[in-house]
């Protein structure tokens, strides 16, 4: 998964009725990984008192998430929380993936080290 370059984010805010929306598309290395992450993240339903509506869709090897909130602050909080769950899920997959699969994934990953 590559969040920095392959993630498409489309955010809109409508000033008339003060709703804020964002759509995030997250690509994965395989359909299997996308399905695993989708199943994990779609288990929790949003509480009825929540100010944000979240819709998850699985489209091939991508997960598409659409957020709709009453205020931009709530939208930002929901997206931050979602990415926290997403990172936990992908880190867990990496930890327990078979060695051969991990080697292939690491070969394509970009790393940055700080030597200062």
- C-alpha 93/C-alpha 18 separation (Å) is 38
Q: Where are the domains of the chain?
A: 3-108
Q: Is the predicted pLDDT of residue 69 greater than 80, yes or no?
A: yes
Six token digits for residue 86? 């997403």
pLDDT in tens, 92-108: 999 988 766 555 554 44
Q: Is the sign of the CA dihedral 41, 47, 83, 10 positive or negative? A: positive
Q: Is the predicted pLDDT of residue 56 greater than 70, yes or no?
A: yes
The highest-level CATH class for domain 3-108 is alpha beta
The per-residue pLDDT for 112 is 39
pLDDT in tens, 5-31: 344 555 554 445 678 999 999 999 999
pTM of full prediction above 0.85: no
């Amino acid at each position: 998964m590559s969040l920095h370059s392959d993630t498409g984010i489309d955010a809109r805010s409508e000033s008339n009725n003060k709703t804020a929306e964002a759509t995030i598309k997250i690509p994965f290395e395989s359909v299997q990984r996308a399905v695993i992450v989708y199943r994990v993240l779609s288990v929790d339903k949003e509480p009825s008192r929540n100010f944000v509506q979240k819709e998850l869709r699985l489209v091939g090897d991508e997960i598409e998430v659409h957020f709709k909130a009453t205020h931009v602050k709530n939208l930002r909080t929901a997206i931050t929380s979602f990415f926290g769950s997403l990172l936990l899920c992908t880190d867990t997959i990496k930890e327990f993936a078979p060695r051969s699969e991990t080697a292939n994934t690491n070969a394509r990953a970009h790393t940055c080290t700080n030597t200062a």
